[in-house]
Structure 1
Amino acid sequence: MENPLSKWRSELRGTFSNNAPTIPQWELDLEKGDDGGYFGPESAAWAVHGSMTTLVAGIQSLLIQALHPGALAGVHDHSSYRSDPLGRLAGTIRWIFTLTYGDTAAARQASDKVLRIHEHIRGSYNTNSGEVRPYTANDPDLLRWIHLAFTQAFLATHEAYGGPIPGGSDAYVADWAVAGALMQVENPPTTVSGLNDQLAAYTKELRYDETVAETVAFIRNPPLARSQQGGYKILFAAAVASLPLGYKELLQLSTPRLGPLSLPVTVPTKGVLGVVRWSLGSPGPSEASARARRIRLGV
């Protein structure tokens, strides 16, 4: 009979791998390839994506993305996030880690696969001015918004709860601009200043409505195993606490408080992330495969 600790670790691993019983083959396949990839062990991308702060970042990026009615329409009308949230999470993790740790050919193939899927995601949404606007998931403005939301969330949460970033925050934005370019985002930002400027350009397009409220409610309480729900509540609070104030207010979210005092978030968040790292092991399979490939190639 599986002991409670082993059961909890199995459930946790399953959350990130769509309940795969073993390490997914695609992670092991990252050891293959003919070059070192777009990023290396000393890169900002490895520092951020190799840390557990990505768990908080994933939550925050979904919250930010939901504010754009075009992006939310695509998710609401076509995504399996409600019926198969773990499958969608596993797919996103695969794309991120393939770009971060795979060779350049694998990174391009992973991005091209997402773009092909996007070709079938189309519909229409109402803008804030009342216009009915058709969309496809590959529309340039939507691709940019998703890239900006991702970059903002992963940077902000790592700055709040993670360690140092080699080269600083600008280095991470510049690294992940490579992912933007692979996803056909024209002139993705390469500095924090540029990131903030491009995000600000979307302000008038963003809104909070019933569909956003439903999405936020789902993100707040996803269908996780009972053993993970307590830790997730802390990570959700961490995502909200590190949101830029404008997005936090628009989403009608606030940092947990006890009367006039904000409840501490940083220490319990780092505690949860530490437990998850201990459970999943470090380095993760993707990073280990990338290191083995680089050793084989003499990179």
Structure 2
Amino acid sequence: MTSEKVLGPLTLLRQRWGAALFERVAGSDGPAKRARIHGLPGPRWFSEDRPIRRVHADAAMFVGGLRALLLQSLHPLAMAAVAAHSGYRGDPWGRLQRTSTFLAVTTFGTASDAQDAVATVRRVHQKVRGSIRDGRTYRASDPHLLGWVHVAEVDSFLRCHQQYGAVPLDDDACDAYIDDMARIGTALGVVDPPRDRAELGARLAAYRSELQGTPEARAAARFLLLDPPVPVVARVPYAFLASAAVAELPVWARWPLRLPYLPVAEATAVRLGGHGIVGAIRWAMTAPAQADGPDRS
């Protein structure tokens, strides 16, 4: 008996959709990387009960990652570095795969693999430098810029998990997640990263005076939201993700990027659509392994 007859069409659809999504975010060698990350014996930076594992394993990260990119783009120096050196337009999926692999290795992988991943990123950062129109210079290894990228990610991942995660964190776990992320931030070169929600809010507020909607930032927002590198059949689901990400941005971040603020729609239709698409992704990405025949458990 073929595996298709054993599993049934709905399970096969779930597996195939999940495999396609996984390949998009992890690359063609994703299964091999996953096997190493989760299967290699050895100590980890984070134990199985740590909040960072719950947050980073949830499909809400699809919304959180997009929100983080939009928020990060508001710092002119950080955005200039991304525009000039990241290749996000020419190879957007490659950039996504590198980022998702880094998060997976540092969250779930062995301590030695996590340290190697951090060392690789730090070597790349040393080469990324330049200047912007007003003459200011940037270095990707600048602890101040690293701090902005870090707090924008932490705030985005946590906020979107609390809105769209399968099991939101309680108050203590929210602070513990920020503390977990501080370990990764410190390893990357962030100086004194925030360790609870009060510190995270204060650090975000401290960057406000440096943020602005540059032409590069608005171009990145248009690319991410209106012209994404996804197949036509995926445009509608992606639109739900994009709308959910925009709705989780603070109001002060909308106008610089020329993004709308529609509180009634965001609290109803956008949130409903966001829960629907995140739930569908979660369902697909947790598909059971395919059996080879009726006698395999």
What is the TM-score when the length of structure 2 is the normalising length?
0.85
Q: Higher helix share goes to which structure?
A: 2
Given the superposition, is the C-alpha separation of residues 226 and 261 from structure 1 closer, same or farther in structure 2, using an over 3 Å criterion?
A: closer
Displacement of 1:250 in angstroms is: 3.0
CA contact (8 A) 1:121 1:136 kept: yes
Structure 1 residues 109 and 283, CA, compared in 2 at 3 Å: closer, same or farther? farther
Q: TM-score, normalised by structure 1?
A: 0.85
Distance 1:248 1:40 in 2: 37
Q: 1:59 aligns with which of 66, 74, 83?
A: 66
Q: 1:147 to 1:282 in 2, by over 3 A?
A: farther
Q: CA deviation at 1:147?
A: 0.5
Write the letter of the residue equivalent to 1:159: Q
Q: Which residue of 2 aligns with 1:289?
A: none
Q: Distance in 1 between matches of 2:158 and 2:25?
A: 21
Determine the C-alpha separation between the residues in 2 that align with 1:283 and 1:98.
23
Q: Contact 1:13–1:280 at 8 Å: present in 2 too?
A: yes
Counterpart residue number, 2:200:
195
Distance 1:122 1:230, change over 3 A: same
Match of 1:277 among 258, 274, 282: 282
Identical columns (%): 33
- In the aligned structure 2, how far is the partner of 1:164 from the partner of 1:257? 22
Q: Is contact 2:125–2:140 with CA below 8 Å preserved after alignment?
A: yes
Query: C-alpha distance in 2, partners of 1:121/1:261?
Result: 37
| Count of residue pairs the alignment pairs up | 275
106, 116, 122: which is aligned to 1:99? 106
Secondary structure of 2:23's aligned partner: helix
Separation (CA, whole Å) in 2 of partners of 1:13 and 1:227: 17
The one of 75, 78, 85 equivalent to 1:71 is 78
Q: Secondary structure at the match of 1:123?
A: strand
Residues 123 and 134 of structure 1 are in contact (CA less than 8 Å); yes or no, is this contact kept in structure 2? yes
Q: Pick from 44, 47, 53: which aligns with 1:40?
A: 47
Cα 1:256–1:235 change in 2 (3 A) is: farther
Secondary structure of 2:272's aligned partner: helix
1:47 Cα offset (Å): 1.3
Q: Structure 1 segments of 4 or more deviating over 3 A?
A: 2-11, 255-258, 260-263
Letter in 1 for 2:20: E
Render the CA deviation track for 1:218-241: whole Å, top value 9, x for unaligned: 110311022221111111111111
The correspondence for 1:175, drawn from 154, 177, 180, is: 180
Counterpart in the other structure of 2:26: 17
For 2:118 and 2:109, locate their aligned partners in 1 and report how far apart those are by CA, in whole Å: 12
1:79 Cα deviation from its structure 2 partner = 1.3
The aligned counterpart of 1:254 is 260
Q: Superposition RMSD on alpha carbons, in Å?
A: 2.4
Distance 1:139 1:85 in 2: 24
Aligned to 2:156: 153
User: Residues 282, 42 of structure 1: CA spacing in aligned structure 2 closer, same or farther, 3 A cutoff?
Assistant: farther
Q: Deviation at 1:269?
A: 1.3
Q: Structure 2 residue aligned with 1:50, among 31, 52, 57? A: 57
Q: Is the 8 A contact 1:256 1:263 kept in 2?
A: no
Q: Give 5+ residue unaligned stretches, structure 2.
A: 290-297
Tell me the CA shift for residue 107 of structure 1: 1.1
* Cα drift, residue 7 of structure 1: 6.1
Tell me how far apart the structure 2 counterparts of residues 160 and 264 of structure 1 sit (CA, whole Å): 14
Corresponding position: 1:186 with 2:191: yes
Q: Could you give the per-residue CA deviations for residues 152-183 of structure 1, whole angstroms, max 9, x where no partner exists?
A: 10011111112222633211111111111111
